[in-house]
Amino acid sequence: MIRSYRLQFRDPFGISRSTGTHCDNVFVEFDGGWGEAAPTAYMRESRATAEKALRRIVAMNLPDPDCIEDVEETVRRRVKGNASARAAFDMALHDRLGRRLGVPVWKLFGRAPKPDMTTSFTIGIDTPEVMMRKVAAAKNFDILKIKLGRDLTHDLRIMRAIRAAVGPRRRLLADANGGWTLAEARRALPVLADLGVEFIEQPLPRGAHDEVRRLKKGAPIPIMLDEDSVTAADLPALAGVADGINIKLMKSGGLTEARRMVTVARNLGLRVMIGCMIESSVAITAAAHLAPFADYVDLDGNLLITNDPFQGVRCERGGRLKLPDLPGLGVRVRADFESDFA
Ligand code: MG
Q: What is the 177 CA–ligand 1 centroid distance (Å)?
A: 6
Q: What is the 204 CA–ligand 1 centroid distance (Å)?
A: 11
In angstroms, the Cα distances linking 92 to 166, 235, 289, 330 are 40, 26, 13, 11
Contact 226, 207 (CB under 8 A): no
Cα–Cα distance for residue pair 192/14, rounded to 1 Å: 20
Q: What is the 175 CA–ligand 1 centroid distance (Å)?
A: 6
Q: What is the 227 CA–ligand 1 centroid distance (Å)?
A: 7
- Rounded to two decimals, the pTM is 0.96
Q: What is the 62 CA–ligand 1 centroid distance (Å)?
A: 34
pLDDT tens digits for the chain (342 residues)? 999 999 999 988 888 888 899 999 999 999 999 999 999 999 999 999 999 999 999 999 999 999 999 999 999 999 999 999 999 999 999 999 999 999 999 999 999 999 999 999 999 999 999 999 999 999 999 999 999 999 999 999 999 999 999 999 999 999 999 999 999 999 999 999 999 999 999 999 999 999 999 999 999 999 999 999 999 999 999 999 999 999 999 999 999 999 999 999 999 999 999 999 999 999 999 999 999 999 999 999 999 999 999 999 999 999 999 999 999 999 999 999 999 888
Give the number of other CB atoms < 10 A from CB of residue 160: 13
Instruction: Give Rg (Cα) of the chain.
Output: 19
Q: What is the 338 CA–ligand 1 centroid distance (Å)?
A: 33
Cα–Cα distance for residue pair 219/213, rounded to 1 Å: 10
Q: Give the three-class secondary structure for 139.
A: coil
Q: What is the 310 CA–ligand 1 centroid distance (Å)?
A: 24
For 37-65, b/e burial (b = at least 16 CB within 10 A) is: bbbbeebebebebbbebbeebbeeebeeb
